[in-house]
A and B are shown apart, each in its own frame.
Chain A
Amino acid sequence: MTESRSTRILFSRRSVLGMLGTAGVVAAVPGCGSSLGGGGDAGGGGQGGAVKVGLVIPQAGVYAPLGVDMQRGWELYLNQHDGRLGDREVTTVVADEGEGPESGVPAVQRVLQRDRVDVVVGIVNSAVALGAVDAVTSAGKLLVVSNAGAGALTGENRNPLTWRTSFANAQVSSALGDHLAGQNLPGGVYLIAPDYAAGEEALGGFREAFEAGGGRIAGEARTPFGTTQDFQPFLAGIRSSGAAATFCFYAGGEAVSFVQQYDSFGLKQTIPLFGSGFLTEGGVLDAQGAAATGVQTSLHYTTELDNPANTAFIDSYTAANGAAPTVYSVQTYDAAAVLDRAIGQAGDVAGTALSEAMGSLGTIEDSPRGPWTFDGQNPRQTYYLREVRRQGQGYVNAVVADLGEFAQPA
């Protein structure tokens, strides 16, 4: 910067004040926003107009495959319904959640503040979802989480504008804990998960249901999250514990390594492996290959479910995308389905009106996962015991048993 310009700026305080004044005027002109307004504003929604939805999903990083499935589920529902929800034209703004809150929270802020969406849907990562609650609900908007499983999102201190169409971490594993407690496992069950919040919640849900049913825990381990490539040291611990079965919670790359090594170190034959369904869901199952056969998991969906809604869903999903759906596709498909009804019922897109409508939807009968209802803003749904079996060239999660209906454990 040259000296003459600096001088001018320094000595013309009045012109600076003038500039401030101009800015104040500009701010009053519609279109040139100001950041000094109150909390939320009406946005583009209003009565009968179009509805704008922010779909926040990971497009980069380790969770990107989940994001693809979620977006496909969302788009399938809209395509089947003329691009309308509750008989309103829908504009979807997709934002990249990335790998964690450092990119996810700004993405949520962007769809809210820049794109002025009426509803925020999606979110894989629990930390992003928990961080998003404040931003979305303080703007008076509805947040529909279609994956992240943190218990607190729909737990005791839940926010009235936050709903979830997926699951709570502890819910998925409590179904399996309840089931295994009824089996005869004299050696007890060994629990293992990564040392992060979702793993902790999953083990907690399992432990509570399992011990309530009279089961015995043979031992527990936590593996360093995200940096464990080699599970041998922990597998040695499982073997020496004398457990009759193992319950684990892993997803993504760790699910592949764990299942493969559990097999190659010879544990699978002697100590059966059980897990939350994400262990063998979607792309990881292909990578695990033969090592996964016989692994049993609990989840609220599998492509092998035999009901008319699921058959139709799989047909149109596969025709559109050339790939089979996953639980992640179904959860976001259902998010669109409940929004469709809620917007229609409320006749409004304001958070409180939508939230009220969500609470009175009753049972969602035609979901690919089977009928489910909201219970405390989180689905009460049927859980299935699934076993990995070879089918043709690939592997599927076959239904072994119906474990009954479960809501988020208190």
Chain B
Amino acid sequence: MLTWLDANLVSILNGLAIGSLLFILAVGLSLVFGMMDVLNLAHGALFLAGAYLGHLFVGQQAGWASFAGALGVAAVIGALAGGGLSVMTEPLAHRSHLDQALLTLGVALVVAELLSIAFGNDVQSVAAPPGLDGSTVVLGSTYPVYRLVLIGIGALLAVAVHVVIERTRLGLLVRAAVADREMVSALGVDERRVKAAVFGIGSALAMVAGVLGGPIYGARPGLDSTVLILALVVVVIGGLGSVRGALIGALVIGQVESLGRVLLADLASFVLFGALALVLVLRPQGLFGARAQART
């Protein structure tokens, strides 16, 4: 057991780093869905936009200022984009999931294609900030410092999102809206503004995740759909509309993608969707689904 642990500790650590990034990406998707019933398939395109923003600001010679600048701009643009998406989905509030999914899929295609026109089809890499771009020795293995830092950032953001949702007035409204949307508007709260705020925060987090993920994943066409699928799996496994579910889902998928691929090397291509199918067959509402989302 000890030797097994010793051999795989780095993979477990790596799963934590990937899980942290996935949490930052997926929490917005989960809240938007839980609250507004909108399945936002443009979420991956926002991540990719963040990655390209990182490439634009940081490129291959990273400085702290440019990295921080990229994060700040990503948050602002992301919030605006989220507000825009909120307005765009407003007329579809009483339509099916399918219509919203198609609309956001259309937005995703347009955004991804515009990015490819702007930045070309070559793979672009993004450097980590100075001091974090090297490697260190953890548990006897070389490990990139930046990924360790990512675990810390993920933990910080998880606490921050938790505080906002559990301790602030906005959080209260969000939780109330997840539980019963009609009741919130009946109480005289402008539900649309709450929705825009949640959409904005979720999208800002997605773009920030894109900048943060840049040094690991780079920026290239096609990355948007890959991360979108990961985020969807996280959200569905964790249960929709729950911050805690998104966190657990992200950590589970981080391990599935990391440790799972080590242990089941021959089935590496199947583990992600296998895990998703298994969870949905056993627990159709996800691991932490608060209630059945049977509305179509």
Instruction: Write the residues of chain A forming the contact surface with B, with a CB cutoff of 8 angstroms.
Output: 60-62, 64-65, 195, 221-227, 229-230, 232-234, 236-237, 239-240, 252-253, 256-257, 260, 264-267, 283-284, 286-289
Does B183 sit at the interface, judged by CB under 8 A?
Answer: no
Does B121 sit at the interface, judged by CB under 8 A?
Answer: yes
Q: Determine if B7 and A234 form an interchain contact, defined as CB atoms under 8 angstroms apart.
A: no
Does B293 sit at the interface, judged by CB under 8 A?
Answer: no
Which are the 10 A-B pairs with shortest beta-carbon distances?
A266-B142, A233-B261, A283-B122, A224-B269, A64-B121, A264-B144, A287-B123, A233-B262, A232-B14, A287-B125
Residues of B contacting A61 in the complex (Cβ-Cβ under 8 angstroms): 121, 221-222
- Given A195-B269, A230-B258, A233-B11, CB of A287 within 8 Å of CB of B122: yes
Q: Separation in Å of the B26 CB from the closest CB of chain A? A: 15
- Given A222-B268, A253-B222, A266-B141, CB of A232 within 8 Å of CB of B11: yes
Does B249 sit at the interface, judged by CB under 8 A?
Answer: no
Does B33 sit at the interface, judged by CB under 8 A?
Answer: no
Q: Separation in Å of the B82 CB from the closest CB of chain A? A: 24
Q: Is the interface of A mostly helix, strand, loop or mixed?
A: helix
Stretch from B35-43, B90-98, B212-220 forming part of the interface with A: B212-220
Q: Separation in Å of the B22 CB from the closest CB of chain A? A: 11
The number of chain B residues with a CB under 8 A from chain A is: 36
Residues of B contacting A284 in the complex (Cβ-Cβ under 8 angstroms): 122-123
Q: Determine if A230 and B257 form an interchain contact, defined as CB atoms under 8 angstroms apart.
A: yes
Residues of B contacting A288 in the complex (Cβ-Cβ under 8 angstroms): 125
Complex formed: what's the CA distance from A257 to B259 in Å? 19
Q: Determine if A265 and B123 form an interchain contact, defined as CB atoms under 8 angstroms apart.
A: no
16 A-B pairs whose Cβ atoms sit less than 8 Å apart in the complex: A61-B121, A61-B222, A62-B222, A222-B268, A226-B222, A230-B14, A233-B257, A233-B260, A236-B10, A237-B262, A253-B222, A256-B123, A256-B218, A265-B143, A283-B122, A289-B125
Q: Determine if B7 and A240 form an interchain contact, defined as CB atoms under 8 angstroms apart.
A: yes
- Given A233-B261, A266-B142, CB of A62 within 8 Å of CB of B121: yes
Q: Determine if B121 and A239 form an interchain contact, defined as CB atoms under 8 angstroms apart.
A: no
Q: Separation in Å of the A377 CB from the closest CB of chain B? A: 31
Complex formed: what's the CA distance from A64 to B125 in Å? 18
For B220, the closest partner residue in chain A by CB is: A253
Q: Separation in Å of the A294 CB from the closest CB of chain B? A: 16
Residues of A contacting B262 in the complex (Cβ-Cβ under 8 angstroms): 233, 236-237
Q: Determine if A230 and B123 form an interchain contact, defined as CB atoms under 8 angstroms apart.
A: no
Residues of A contacting B272 in the complex (Cβ-Cβ under 8 angstroms): 227
Q: Determine if B261 and A256 form an interchain contact, defined as CB atoms under 8 angstroms apart.
A: no
Residues of B contacting A236 in the complex (Cβ-Cβ under 8 angstroms): 7-8, 10-11, 141, 262
Does B60 sit at the interface, judged by CB under 8 A?
Answer: yes
Q: Determine if A224 and B123 form an interchain contact, defined as CB atoms under 8 angstroms apart.
A: no
Residues of B contacting A223 in the complex (Cβ-Cβ under 8 angstroms): 268
Does B89 sit at the interface, judged by CB under 8 A?
Answer: no
Q: Separation in Å of the A21 CB from the closest CB of chain B? A: 45
For B10, the closest partner residue in chain A by CB is: A236
Residues of B contacting A225 in the complex (Cβ-Cβ under 8 angstroms): 269
Does B66 sit at the interface, judged by CB under 8 A?
Answer: no
Q: Type the 1/0 row for B236-263, where 1 means its CB is closer than 8 Å to any CB of A.
A: 0000000000000000000001111110
- Given A232-B14, A236-B262, CB of A283 within 8 Å of CB of B226: no
Instruction: Write the residues of chain B forming the contact surface with A, with a CB cutoff of 8 angstroms.
Output: 7-8, 10-11, 14, 18, 60, 120-125, 135, 141-144, 216-218, 220-223, 226, 257-262, 265, 268-269, 272
Q: Determine if A237 and B144 form an interchain contact, defined as CB atoms under 8 angstroms apart.
A: no
Q: Determine if A264 and B135 form an interchain contact, defined as CB atoms under 8 angstroms apart.
A: yes
For B221, the closest partner residue in chain A by CB is: A62
Complex formed: what's the CA distance from A289 to B18 in Å? 23
Q: Separation in Å of the A290 CB from the closest CB of chain B? A: 9
Complex formed: what's the CA distance from A255 to B147 in Å? 20
Q: Determine if B11 and A283 form an interchain contact, defined as CB atoms under 8 angstroms apart.
A: no
Residues of B contacting A283 in the complex (Cβ-Cβ under 8 angstroms): 122-123
Tell me which of A60, A232, A234, A253 contacts B10 (CB under 8 A): A232
Tell me which of B223, B258, B265 contacts A237 (CB under 8 A): B265
Residues of A contacting B269 in the complex (Cβ-Cβ under 8 angstroms): 195, 224-225, 227
- Interface-central residue, A64, A236, A252, A286, by most chain B CB under 10 Å: A236
Q: Separation in Å of the B186 CB from the closest CB of chain A? A: 45
Q: Determine if A233 and B258 form an interchain contact, defined as CB atoms under 8 angstroms apart.
A: yes
Tell me which of A60, A233, A240, A267 contacts B259 (CB under 8 A): A233
Residues of A contacting B261 in the complex (Cβ-Cβ under 8 angstroms): 233-234
Complex formed: what's the CA distance from A267 to B259 in Å? 19
Q: Separation in Å of the A52 CB from the closest CB of chain B? A: 28
Complex formed: what's the CA distance from A229 to B210 in Å? 14
Residues of A contacting B220 in the complex (Cβ-Cβ under 8 angstroms): 62, 253, 256
Complex formed: what's the CA distance from A239 to B123 in Å? 27
Complex formed: what's the CA distance from A38 to B7 in Å? 65
For B218, the closest partner residue in chain A by CB is: A256
Q: Separation in Å of the A53 CB from the closest CB of chain B? A: 24
Residues of A contacting B221 in the complex (Cβ-Cβ under 8 angstroms): 61-62
Q: Separation in Å of the B163 CB from the closest CB of chain A? A: 30
Complex formed: what's the CA distance from A401 to B31 in Å? 58
Complex formed: what's the CA distance from A56 to B235 in Å? 41
Q: Separation in Å of the B19 CB from the closest CB of chain A? A: 11
Complex formed: what's the CA distance from A233 to B7 in Å? 11
Residues of B contacting A257 in the complex (Cβ-Cβ under 8 angstroms): 217-218
Tell me which of B18, B124, B143 contacts A287 (CB under 8 A): B124
For A220, the closest partner residue in chain B by CB is: B265
Residues of A contacting B265 in the complex (Cβ-Cβ under 8 angstroms): 221, 233-234, 237
Residues of B contacting A233 in the complex (Cβ-Cβ under 8 angstroms): 11, 14, 257-262, 265, 268
- Interface-central residue, A60, A225, A229, by most chain B CB under 10 Å: A229
Tell me which of A227, A230, A256, A286 contacts B18 (CB under 8 A): A230
Complex formed: what's the CA distance from A338 to B257 in Å? 48
- Given A62-B222, A227-B226, A289-B60, CB of A232 within 8 Å of CB of B258: yes
For B269, the closest partner residue in chain A by CB is: A224
Q: Determine if A230 and B259 form an interchain contact, defined as CB atoms under 8 angstroms apart.
A: no
Q: Separation in Å of the B109 CB from the closest CB of chain A? A: 12
